[in-house]
Amino acid sequence: MATVTTNFGTNTALTVTNLHSLGNAAYWQSAAIDNGTVLGLWAELFVTIVTTTTAGSDGSVKVYLAGSTDGGTDYAGGASGTEGSYTVIGNSDEQLQYITSIPIDASEIIARTYKKRIVIHDLPEDFAILIKNDTGTGLAASGNLVEYRLNKYDSA
């Protein structure tokens, strides 16, 4: 009888230059994540969001996945697979795969750090991560972080 074990990948930090100071109702997108070599079946996403000292309303940060069906040229919702901002055109954001929402209590005037581990199943070969700031205020100018780990199973 075969034994199946989890083969955890390596944590990879994404560039988040444009996630810092992200304004309310704005989107950030990651550079493309190529799963064509690892062939991960599931991923862990580690997100750290830092709020500012400016009070906003209670809100959230929403996490999405934009998959590519053509080897990393075209992404769902018109995402580019390049780190930076993402602009919604028409209803393009409705084409993104919603992953989760991170509740943010921005009602205080003290900067807070929120960390969340997110598990994503059924990964495409190529994809990008998108984050929407719905906190009611901008994010902090530093300290935000997004890392991922592509994982698979081994049978022996």
- The alpha carbon of residue 19 and the mean position of all alpha carbons in its chain are separated, in whole angstroms, by 10
Which of 23, 35, 130 shows the shortest CA–CA distance to 76? Answer: 130
Residue 82 CA from chain centroid, whole number: 13
Could you give the CA distance from residue 81 to residue 75 in angstroms, rounded to a whole number? 7
Q: Which residues touch 2 (CB under 8 Å, ≥6 apart)?
A: 155, 156
Mean pLDDT per block of 10 residues along the chain (156 residues) reads 92 98 96 95 97 76 94 93 94 93 80 93 96 91 97 91
Give me the amino acid identity at 93. D
Structure confidence at residue 52 (pLDDT): 84
Answer yes or no: are the C-beta atoms of 102 and 114 closer than 8 Å: yes
- With beta carbons less than 8 A apart as the criterion, state whether 96 and 82 touch: no
Tokens of 3: 């034994």
What does pTM read for this prediction? 0.93
What's the CA gap between 40 and 112, in Å, rounded? 33
The span from the CA of 59 to the CA of 93, in Å, is 18
pLDDT at residue 106, rounded to an integer: 63
pLDDT at 79: 96
What pLDDT score was predicted for residue 20?
97
Indicate the fold that domain 16-151 takes in CATH. Jelly Rolls (2.60.120)
* Residue 55, pLDDT score: 59
SS3 60: strand
Q: What is the pLDDT of residue 136?
A: 85
